[in-house]
Amino acid sequence: MELFHVDLKKTVDHSYDIVIGSGLEDRLQEDLDVFARSDGRSIAVITDSNVYAYYGAELESRLKNALPELKINTAVFPAGEKSKTRETKAYLEDLLISWGYRRDTLILAFGGGVVTDLAGFVAGTFARGVPFLNYATTLLAAADASIGGKTAVDTDAATNLIGLIYQPKRVYIDIAMWKTLSQRELSDGLAETIKHACMADAAFFSYLETNLEKVFSLDPAVCRRIAEKNCEIKYRVVMLDETEQGMREILNLGHTVGRAIETVSDYRLSHGESVSIGLAAQARLGRNLGYCSEEDVARVEALLRKAKLPVRIPEWIDREALIRKLYTDKKVRGGRLRFVFQKGIGSMVEFSAGSSAGAAVYSRYIPEDSVREVIAEL
């Protein structure tokens, strides 16, 4: 018998910059000189039908005029969570192949969370991995999807079950583009914003209690503060646990119930609306377990309502189907439900500290009967 050892130890730097501002197209164009022109890369813009209707033709024309020697094409798919599938991913990949794209490709994800999730997944697997940039046009993408490198598609079984962690080369958060968002789309992003405040920043939670409604009038100072705080809270977690070995699970706050509701509703409820109900559920479950007070629960639900988000499960949702769907959550181990919990307002419950033997534990097993009790309340 022969034994060969393959030594692949190496230091990998996945660092990148997040650029926050209003009207970042000029900055994007300058950066493409570095990321694409210097390497002679072809640029593939991936976006959805809604974003393309507002910005697509103008963006493609701008890039082609600035970088005439590079191949630039735009791939568009139907907007909405229902497009975040393996079929759409294959469609995008087939388009790139038909256009002659190979390993010398740079992908620009231009849009909201579905766009950054799909385009990032394509980038991570196309030609075994090509670089990509995230240009977030929505508050939801700015708060969550564009940062951290999580990419995925949904299946009938569960959301985000198939994907990978693949970091972008740069992220752009363009607050000026929020002007095209509906109230419902702004509320979607506020759900993730409130989640961040619940888990990591009591002062930011208080700030939102006073200023959140100004987001709907696109107050520049409030929108910028929210964009910056979301980034600060999320990247602090990602820097400590890029691949979700422990601490990064706290970013799932509200998502155990939230993702299940989103799927069971067949996406009639948006991601933010579903997470909002999930946040209310975990706060009430946490109250029952002694992690939150009644006042904490009331403050969380009041802030969600202020953001024009639901905190109750619609009557038309099948409760039994919802319970069954909880078991598709990625935190489930050995067929047992696991939740993460906020500790009061602004921090998370840590069930065991990290050590040389392993990462800290932020989730715990919860009996189904305890979850049913809270589902019945909602």
pLDDT, tens digit, 9 for 90 and up, residues 61-82: 999 999 999 999 999 999 999 9
Alpha-carbon distances of 139 from 37, 80, 182, 187, 279, rounded to whole Å: 30, 15, 11, 9, 18
Query: Which has the minimum average pLDDT: 6-10, 20-24, 221-225, 254-258?
Result: 6-10
Do the beta carbons of residue 162 and residue 330 sit within 8 Å?
Answer: no
How far is 305 from 359, CA to CA, in rounded Å? 35
Q: What does pTM read for this prediction?
A: 0.95
* pLDDT of 98: 98
pLDDT at 204 over 70: yes
**How large is the C-alpha radius of gyration of the chain?**
21
CA distance 358 to 342: 22
In angstroms, the CA 210 to CA 110 distance is: 32
Domains of the chain by start residue, with CATH = 17-180 (3.40.50.1970), 183-377 (1.20.1090.10)
- pLDDT of residue 359 exceeding 80, the answer is no
What is the 8-class DSSP label of residue 126? Answer: G
- DSSP for 11-63 reads ------EEEEES--HHHHHHHHHHHTGGGT-EEEEEEEHHHIIIIIHHHHHHH
Q: Which amino acid is present at 156?
A: D
pLDDT tier for residue 355 given thresholds of 50, 70 and 90? low
Across the range 91-111, mean pLDDT stands at: 97
Under 8 Å between Cβ of 138 and 189:
yes
Q: Is residue 325 very low, low, confident or very high in pLDDT (cuts 50, 70, 90)?
A: very high
Count of C-beta atoms within a 10 Å radius of residue 78 = 11
